[in-house]
Amino acid sequence: MLNHLTNKPLASKRTDQYEEKLDVKNIAHVQDIRNRMNKVEQIILGPYRDELIKSININL
């Protein structure tokens, strides 16, 4: 039943080398977006961060 699941991307590519390069580009793209979002979060939440952390209750 799970034999159709794979680690390969959904789009099939011609060669494994090209596929590996594509994966590296995707990883770099995701990291870039994550860095941008972190900067936005710091700008928006910076002044409120301490109060926000105090107000969050973590139930373990």
Q: Residues with Cβ < 8 Å from 2, sequence gap 6 or more?
A: none
Provide the 8-state DSSP code for 45.
Answer: H
pTM here? 0.37
The list of the chain residues with pLDDT below 50 reads 1-6, 10, 12, 60
pLDDT at 17: 62
Cα dihedral across residues 13, 14, 18, 20: positive or negative: positive
